[in-house]
Amino acid sequence: MRSDNVKSGMQQAPHRSLFNALGMTKEELERPLVGIVSSYNEIVPGHMNLDKITEAVKMGVAMAGGTPIVFPAIAVCDGIAMGHIGMKYSLVTRDLIADSTEAMAMAHQFDALVMIPNCDKNVPGLLMAAARVNVPTVFVSGGPMLAGHVKGHKTSLSSMFEAVGSYSAGTMTEEDINEFECKACPTCGSCSGMYTANSMNCLTEALGMGLPGNGTIPAVYSERLKLAKHAGMAVMEMYKKNIRPRDIITKDAIMNALTVDMALGCSTNSMLHIPAIAHEIGFDFDISLANEISAKTPNLCHLAPAGPTYMEDLNEAGGVYAVMNQLKQKGLLNEDCMTVTGKTIGEAVEGAVNKNPEVIRPLDNPYSETGGLAVLKGNLAPDGSVVKRSAVVPEMMKHEGPARVFDCEEDAITAIKGGKIVAGDVVVIRYEGPKGGPGMREMLNPTSAIAGMGLGSSVALITDGRFSGASRGASIGHVSPEAAVGGPIAFVEEGDIIKIDIDNHSLELDISEEEMAKRKAAWTPRQPKVTTGYLARYAKMVTSGNRGAVLEI
């Protein structure tokens, strides 16, 4: 056992004295030590139930012959952090989570791990740590929130943000807003649409690192507690068979996850996190692979914000495995990839049935023949940019309009809510990238304000920052290179014509090469916005959005 390094032999007598201080019995020390990485806290709605999940996992581990030992991982609520300086501290936690989990797992020599994340950065951060530490590991999330109900319709957090835009436009009253805020988020859990948290929890199933149902069983269902117990049992089976994360998270598994991403219509943030996870196994993931996979993968789901269905509906329809079984039938998955179930992907999804063709479209009636995400390139984004094409209305798939340029999110929101953005405009928000932000803030406030003010079918947004999974419309993020390092987005001037062609994967600034060179020569770098603390260190080490914003020395 790996844990023998801290518990066996005469040299480890001092170590055992510390285990005695913990109240550990001889019998517990004779068993494999299983680290339970709990992201529980009392500020994130998606994490407030993780104490119950943790206890269930511990029981499963103990029943299967292991000794469970809990340690924490931090978590930020993106919704609460949205629209102010707090959002600079969202993406950056992914690497803190990975680093701190690696440190705890290696320092204490655990034999196996169970990861209990739920919200946006915890899932990829813990997947990165799992690949690094490479001991038998299973993931079990806290589960999605149930949809809210307002005026007879299901709703969610994205509707709440858009309601604020509607209030600014004068189409909703303060009483309407109060009703929304009391009913939009009715339970604990990760917000109820196919936003980033639920996207990554579903993709954990697709990677093979989570049990079936990990991404979709609602947080408040007792079935979630059963899943947690089975996760504890499963990790002990993995330990016995010596199945490790790098046996599961392979290049082929990552391509499977990207394929499922396209079918589900996941958050654009998956195009930050998939490259970062790939980086941990030495796979240099090119985001342009998304277009290759999209070209042959049908988009089968339109969950909020793209459509009127929610995670609870996907769960009832058969969940991620039902989607994967349909993709398998079309020959789109590598069926030989291993999973934490001990079965291959092909074996694991066999028999998973689509119970609702309105939620999971059948192969002969997809929402589109191509996937939910697209990578756009051109002179405005030479290294790429990302859009959730499944959440773009048809009339905005091709758009041309004048640039309205803002050097931070706050200025853009002021202009939008002040009625200064009109139909046809292309809002450009720059110096919000990984280095320039720093931290690559999500832009849910401006996208929601535009949608709420009735401009979602006539105004595009472009940024070197990123968009929330709850954003919809022609919202193009991750523009690379970013403005802070002299990317072309830094050279856009007010009134320049920008041409967007999503079907042809193109994003162009309509100026000559000579004019672009002239502007580049005249550009000077800006002083960093933050010069102390973690954000300053992060800005010095982080790479561009197209590389997953991974850290390099």
The b/e string for 271-310 (b: 16+ C-beta within 10 A; e otherwise) is: bbbbbbbbbbbebebebebbbebbeebbbbbbbbbbbebb
- DSSP tag of 69: E
Beta-bridge mates of residue 160: none
Which position has the token pair 């299901």? 154
Q: Which two tokens stand for residue 189?
A: 């859990």
Looking at residue 333, its amino acid is L
Beta partners for 387? 374, 476
C-alpha 352/C-alpha 334 separation (Å) is 17
CA contacts within 13 A on the Cβ side of 275: 21
Q: Return the closest-CA partner of residue 54 out of 71, 66, 67.
A: 71
Helices (H) and strands (E) in the chain, counts: 22, 14
Q: Which two tokens stand for residue 129?
A: 């740590």
E-strand ranges in 334-437 read 374-378, 381-387, 398-406, 426-429
Report the DSSP pairing between strands 475-480 and 497-501: unpaired
Assign 174 to helix, strand or coil.
helix
Distance CA 309, CA 318 (A): 14
Give the span between the Cα atoms of 92 and 440, in whole angstroms. 9
Which of 90, 100, 141, 468 does the annotation list as catalytic?
Answer: 468
The pair of structure tokens assigned to 44 is 């994130």
253 in Cβ contact with 209 (< 8 Å): no
486 in helix, strand or coil? Answer: coil
Smallest CA-to-CA distance from 127 within 55, 47, 237, 202 is with 202
Instruction: Check: CB of residue 269 under 8 Å from CB of residue 246.
Output: no
Whether 199 sits among the annotated catalytic residues: the reply is no
* Helical (H) or strand (E) element with 410: helix 409-417
Please name the residues in contact with 48: beta carbons below 8 A apart, sequence gap of 6 or more.
Answer: 40, 41, 42, 188
Question: At a CB cut-off of 8 Å and minimum separation 6, what does 362 contact?
Answer: 300, 326, 354
Spatial neighbors of 51 by CB under 8 A, at least 6 apart, are 38, 40
Active site residues: 468
